[in-house]
Amino acid sequence: MAAAPNPILMSTKRISLRRLFPNDFKLLCLLNNDEGVMTYLDHKPPSMEEVNLEVQHIIDYYARWPKFGRWIAESPRGEFLGWFSLAGSEQEMPATLEVGYRLRRQYWGMGLATEGTRLLLEYAFLHNPMVERVIGSTMFINERSRHVMEKCGMRHERTFHLSFEDPLPGTEHGEVLYEITKEEWKKQQT
């Protein structure tokens, strides 16, 4: 019988990223039930059934793409900080990946989103030779998330508009796409 893979993917002094397990369902519910966290994401938190399906989808993704996906972020003391992701669509994998993050509100403003995103960019470009670019997106009005991507060296690629049946406030300003290529990232490291 093969040993289970190490759940810790990577870490910094303040953040450990590990695989998500079915019993992490409660952590995702905790995060999704914070109105502040969900401001730019949805009008209401997902149902328990939707979170269960989300957890299963994340675990299934590991089977197809073991080096990528969404990971639970914890402090060195094991406190749940939120999650980070580095994933892509089947059509674009692995040349283009998308970075994402969601942190509990009490950990905002501490530089953790920037630290985790920089860690994922390093992981993408140094340890995965097929990756050519990493993108990220958010609502135009989500200044905090835009600032994180800019601090990580990502550049604004374009603003675009999507149609929603029940749009969030600020949707009329559009969504923004940020990106960084492997070559751009390498130049920034010197």
19 token code pair: 């695989």
| CATH architecture of the domain formed by 12-188 | 3-Layer(aba) Sandwich (3.40)
Kindly state the average pLDDT of the residues 149-153: 98
Domain positions in the chain:
12-188
pLDDT of residue 1: 47
Kindly state the average pLDDT of the residues 66-92: 93
Query: In the sheet that 175-181 helps form, which strands lie side by side, from edge to edge?
Result: 8-11, 16-19, 69-74, 80-87, 96-103, 133-139, 175-181, 155-160
- Residue 43 confidence class, pLDDT cut points 50, 70, 90: confident
8 A C-beta contact, residue 74 and residue 111: no
> Would the pTM count as exceeding 0.95?
no
pLDDT at 6 over 80: no
pLDDT at 11 over 70: yes
Which range is least confidently modeled, 35-44, 76-85, 145-154? Answer: 35-44
8 A C-beta contact, residue 182 and residue 125: yes
* pLDDT 10s digits, 133-143: 999 999 999 99
Neighbouring residues of 35: CB distance < 8 A, sequence distance ≥ 6: none
